[in-house]
Structure 1
Amino acid sequence: MQSKYEQTKGDMKLDNTSIIHLASKNKKWINLFRLSVSLKDPVDPKILQQALNVTVKRFPSVAARIHKGAFWYYQSAVKRAPQVLPEQNVLLGYMSNQELEQCAFRVLYASKAIHVEIFHALTDGRGGEVFLKTLLAEYFTRKEEAVIPLVDGILDRKETPHEAELTDEYLEIADGKPQNLAKEKSKKVYQFREAAGETLHLTTIKVPVEKLKPLGKKLGVSLTVLIAAFVAEAILINQKADKKQKDRLIKLFLPINLRNFFPSQTLRNFVLYAKPEIDLQKEGLHFVSIAHTIRQQLNEALSEKQLRARISQNVRLEQNPIIKRTPLFIKHHLMKFFFSISEKTTCLTLSNLGVIKVPEEMARYIEHFDFILSPRSKTPYNMGICSFNGELRINLTRNTQEPRLEEALLTLFTKQKVAFQVETQTMQTLEKAKTRSRA
């Protein structure tokens, strides 16, 4: 049977969530994420390029470019693998419309690290993880003559893409029934107000998972809820120092991997989100009550009934006959307007990729993984989390000078006797790097 990719001659209409990533893009900002792997031995760029040349053929929806139609955006596989590039102290560098039309992802390498940066319209963190691990499997097969088993999401590079991997799962889950969903509160949400600077600051907080689990077990919450509670309280500390925003809500944006709720093999975007909130005006707001409040809200938001209802609502809007016939440039401007409003309804994104698993035949070459998000377009912070080999790595990206959130978060970890180590980096923007290269 031909795959859906082959049936459409290479063009796939972007999935239900992807258009927002195109609409939110502006002349200085684009929604990218980076998946990195640090290796025990130096990277061989020639072998990495050979591995990428093979791997891209297996991932037509991830190793892809984006182009416009009359009424929608489409993605199609790149005709050839892009050139792997040496890292030049640029993190999540900007991609122009012209670059997206050629290739909407990039592969970089450092002395002992490999980075994959992907425009979020192509896939989510899970899709990027499968791509990176499969690329690594091909790389180690060639470099080390290792025999890497096809487990833990590692795909066979010799196979043609499976139709299930290319499916727009939102369309499969939607049931078409009318939905009565509760409206979001109109109360304003706290925002970090600092103006964006010219550099990007990355703070990595490393925590042994075994040091966090006892606290999570004591409170009866997952690690994601536990970290979210720490972050919410750290934001509260900053809010209390801002008299103009003292009455505002604290609300986090938590992407949810829907593959944990609905069986799926798709490598396209398949996420929804939860927005747990904390109201400073309520009594008894301390770390324990914050953790329990977030847990309760997530339990309510993540029931199968609620998730299916929200997916159905989004799909029904997309399939509205009027929306379908609306030219793309009008859709784009409407979505840009709605995004500008939506971004103000949360403080920051906290995305936990979870435990990254690889077979022992691959793990022996790896030090750790990192998951890094670009800061938001209007507010300075975002946060990506993943764990590997017993270590949780929290990556905070910030484009302002003062590390207000980081300092509050580390103070809270110390207060709760959570052991941690911290690494910091200051990266150039792509614009500054280009200026230097032309000098």
Structure 2
Amino acid sequence: MKWRTLENTAKIFPATSGKKDERVFRFACVLKEGIRAELLQEALNKTLEEFPMFLCVLRKGLFWNYLEESKLRPIVREEYRTPCSAIYVRDQKNLLFEVTYYKTRINFETYHALTDGTGALNFLKMLVYQYLMLAYPEYVKGPVSKLGITSSTEEDMVEDGFSKYYGSGEIKEEIPRFKSYQFPYHRREHGRMKLIEGLVSSEKLLQKAREHNTTVTVLLTSVYLCAIAKDMSIRQKKKPVSLMIPVNLRNIFPSDSMRNFFGWIDIGYDFATRSNELEDVIAYTSDFFKRELTLKRIGARMDNLIQFEKNPLIRIVPLELKYIFMQLGAKFISVGENTAVFSNIGKINLPDDCESYLDYFEFYTTTPTMELCMCTFQEHMTLSFTSAFVTNRVEENFFSILKELNLDVRMIVSGDSRAGQEHFPDLSKETATHDFWYRLFTFSCLAVMVISNILNYLLIPEMFWSRYVMGGMASAWIITSVGYRKRRNLLKNAVWQLVLIGIGLYLWDYATGFYGWSLNIGLPCLILSCLAAITAIIIFFRLNSADYMIYMMITCLAGFLPLILNIAGIVQFKALAVICAGISFLTLAALCLFQWPAVKNELIKKFHV
């Protein structure tokens, strides 16, 4: 199967995505008539013929994650959960995007490791155009080449722009960094995202920007900075307000890649020492953009990131350790660098023959703090705030400043993303009871431990028999917990159970006087059982070699351990050790002899650095 490495900015997403930020973003197109599901499914199938690189799953290697081609195919369905819910699920092979619809809206949501805003927007444009050609064949006749996004080869579309243009900047360039103001607001429960969204006239906003001798992006960046500062106390203004602004690197480096190829700039404004007037903020922002949005400066930022990734010592650190370091870095090092995010996807263009059927586009993303996303289609500019906070003060300040500039704002969504039946389906019945039985099991284990100690103390205090009960319940809880967490991948679950049960047997043997049964009998029987279980799973689910190869090889290598312990004099029961090693050797030999290309390919994928 085809596979590709993750590009520089995508490498951190699997490590840092979670309930507070699922790293999912949505592009949506609102039509003027209701969506027909069967036509949307057909349009999706046609779109995937143009974007086959989107049909992949995220896999884990020893040193890095990678994307692997998949035979899974997406099914269009009516919107059924809150926007930007989790798409990537660890240990589960699922596609990294989803297409849904609600009333007149087509939604395309994707996990950020698959693509960036430009790639996602191109996919949605193709999807919408394919749908309109099916829904209105007499008026929208194509061809899709009119979109101007499919002339590239598949190789160009999966190009890693970061690797191609590494070394284009001055690595020693000093890049501004800020220890910035952080919102003191209360966070929403369970990491639920809040959406506030409004429409303004793109023509009137452009006219207003020209009145201030600047661009729309600079004007809105300045308004955003002022909206945040408007709610800050004098003491809070001692720290600058900093915005992270993603930059489409395709505008700087020639690339047709549909993968992640974006950078960013960080603009910080000190309201304690500088003027608080919008005009002065605009002047500062304009100068900052002119200085930072150059090939040299953007290249320097990009090179600084890639230089860290290409460090030989970093590359050979196992992935699980990288996860820990990336999570710690995101939590303790990156925190405080930015106050919020402003992402401008720009103007969305579609052929003239389809524009009369469309109303407007939307674009927004999950965030651990606050993010403003902007896109423009025809006369509509959509401004979408997503936030992790209860209060709406910054959003209200932002739209209030726009109104002070004599710009009319039509609110689409004014609060909770679960609310507003006109814009979202009723999702009030959503529950989080899927792990109820696991929590009940955990409580039961604790109850048995506590009750056994009470009975031990009251009835037979001279014999500490409750420790065996506690050990047994702790073992059962650990094994069950790992089984529950790894339930989506039965093969990985089997290997984890092999390790945990093996350790558990040794500890029980040690705690009861160490008679050696854990190593002489328990370990080889456990390895043989794991081999049998993996074989049964492969046959029952008819798995292909890429799905089971690495787990079978790990178990086979473990099968030599009893024989090694026997040769070292630690294990005395020779028969089981030899049988275990022999079966493991034959299984490993069969894999290498009959499936060597698959073995080689899997090793390359898992061990790429």
Map 1:314-325 to 2 at 5 A. Answer: 314-325=305-316
Aligned CA distance change for structure 1 residues 437 and 428 (closer, same or farther; 3 Å): farther
1:134/1:155 contact within 8 Å kept: no
Alpha carbons 1:250, 1:346 under 8 Å: kept: yes
Where do 1:135-214 residues align within 5 Å? 135-145=127-137, 146-149=140-143, 150-155=145-150, 162-175=154-167, 179-185=171-177, 187-198=179-190, 199-214=192-207
Q: Report the alpha carbon displacement of residue 55 of structure 1 after superposing the two structures with TM.
A: 2.0
For structure 1, the residue ranges without an aligned partner over 5 or more in a row are 1-8
- TM-score under structure 1 length normalisation: 0.89
Cα distance in structure 2, aligned partners of 1:359 and 1:301: 34
Match of 2:217 in 1: 224
Q: Is the 8 A contact 2:170 2:296 kept in 1?
A: no
Q: Residues of 2 paired with 1:283 and 1:20: CA distance?
A: 35
Partner SS, residue 334 of structure 2: helix
Residue in structure 2 matching 1:24, options 16, 28, 45: 16
1:70 CA displacement: 1.0
SS at match of 1:116: strand
Correspondence 1:121 to 2:113: yes
**How far apart in 1 are the matches of 2:180 and 2:404?**
30
Separation in 1 of the partners of 2:89 and 2:67? 13
SS at match of 1:33: strand
Q: CA 1:284/1:363 → structure 2, altered by over 3 Å: closer, same or farther?
A: same
- The percentage of aligned residue pairs carrying the same residue is 25
Q: Of the candidates 255, 279, 299, which is equivalent to residue 264 of structure 1?
A: 255
Picking from 303, 313, 319, the partner of 1:312 is: 303
Instruction: Determine if contact 2:58/2:93 at 8 Å carries over to the other structure.
Output: yes
Distance 1:245 1:60 in 2: 49
Greater Cα offset, 309-318 or 195-204: 195-204
Q: Deviations over 1:120-174 (max 9, x none)?
A: 1111111001111111222222232231231334438xx9x52111100011111
Q: For 2:104, which of 112, 135, 145 is the aligned residue? A: 112
Q: What letter matches 1:426 in structure 2? A: D
Displacement of 1:234 after TM fit? 0.3
Between stretches 290-299 and 199-208, larger displacement belongs to 199-208
Tell me the equivalent position of 1:412. 401
Tell whether 2:39 aligns with 1:47. yes
The CA deviation string for residues 275-314 of structure 1, in whole angstroms up to 9 with x for no partner, is: 1111012132310111111111122211111112222222
Aligned-residue Cα RMSD (Å) equals 2.5
Distance change (3 Å), C-alpha of 1:245 and 1:62: farther
Alignment partner, residue 435 of structure 1: 431
Show the counterpart of 1:4: none
Q: CA deviation at 1:398?
A: 2.4
TM-fit CA distance, 1:364: 2.4
Q: CA deviation at 1:324?
A: 1.7
How far apart, CA to CA, are the structure 2 residues paired with 1:427 and 1:11? 36
Within 2, Cα distance between the matches of 1:82 and 1:431?
Answer: 22
Counterpart-to-counterpart distance in 1, 2:4 and 2:351: 32
| 1:336 and 2:331 correspond | no
Q: Compute the displacement of 1:98 (Å).
A: 4.0
Contact 1:56–1:81 under 8 Å retained in 2: no
* 2:7 counterpart residue number: 15
- Alpha-carbon distance in 1 for matches of 2:282, 2:178: 23
Partners of 2:379 and 2:47 in 1: CA distance: 28
Amino acid at match of 1:202: L
Aligned residues: 423
Name the SS of the counterpart of 2:54 in structure 1.
Answer: coil
Compare 161-170 and 188-197 and name the one that shifted more.
188-197
Distance 1:279 1:251 in 2: 9
- 1:396 alignment partner, SS class: strand
State how far apart, in whole Å, the 1-side matches of 2:235 and 2:188 are: 20
Q: 1:285 to 1:71 in 2, by over 3 A?
A: same
Greater fraction strand: 1
1:350 is displaced (CA, Å) by 0.8
Q: How far does the alpha carbon of each residue in 1:250-294 deviate from its partner, in whole angstroms, 9 at most, with x for none?
A: 000100011111111000111100111110121323101111111
DSSP 3-state at the match of 1:349: strand
Q: How many angstroms does 1:63 deviate by?
A: 3.8
Change (3 A) 1:82 1:229: same
1:359 to 351, 354, 357: 351
SS in 1 for 2:186: coil
Q: Does 2:395 match 1:395?
A: no
**C-alpha distance in structure 1 between counterparts of 2:74 and 2:260, whole Å:** 22
TM-score by length of 2: 0.65
1:73 corresponds to: 65
The separation in 1 between residues aligned to 2:418 and 2:339, in whole angstroms, is 24
Stretch deviating more after TM superposition (340-349 or 42-51): 340-349
Change (3 A) 1:344 1:283: closer
Q: 1:225 deviation in Å?
A: 1.0
Residue type of the alignment partner of 1:139: Y
3-state SS, counterpart of residue 262 of structure 1: coil
Query: What letter corresponds to residue 327 of structure 1 in structure 2?
Result: P
Larger RCO, structures 1/2 (Cα 8 Å, 6+ apart):
1
Which one has the bigger helix percentage?
A: 2
Judging changes above 3 Å, is the alpha-carbon distance between structure 1 residues 422 and 397 closer, same or farther for their aligned structure 2 residues?
Answer: same
**Partner residue, 1:3:** none
Paired residue secondary structure (1:151): helix
Secondary structure of the residue that 1:358 maps to in structure 2? coil
| Contact 1:33-1:119 at 8 Å conserved across structures | yes
User: Equivalents in 1 of 2:128, 2:78: separation in Å?
Assistant: 17
Is 1:284 equivalent to 2:275 in the alignment? yes
Structure 2 unaligned runs (5+)? 420-425, 437-609
* CA-CA distance at 1:319 after TM superposition: 1.6
Shift of 1:79: 1.5
Shift of 1:119: 0.7
3-state DSSP class of the match of 1:344?
coil
CA distance in 1, matches of 2:87, 2:266: 28
Using the alignment, how far apart are the partners of 1:192 and 1:273 within structure 2?
Answer: 25
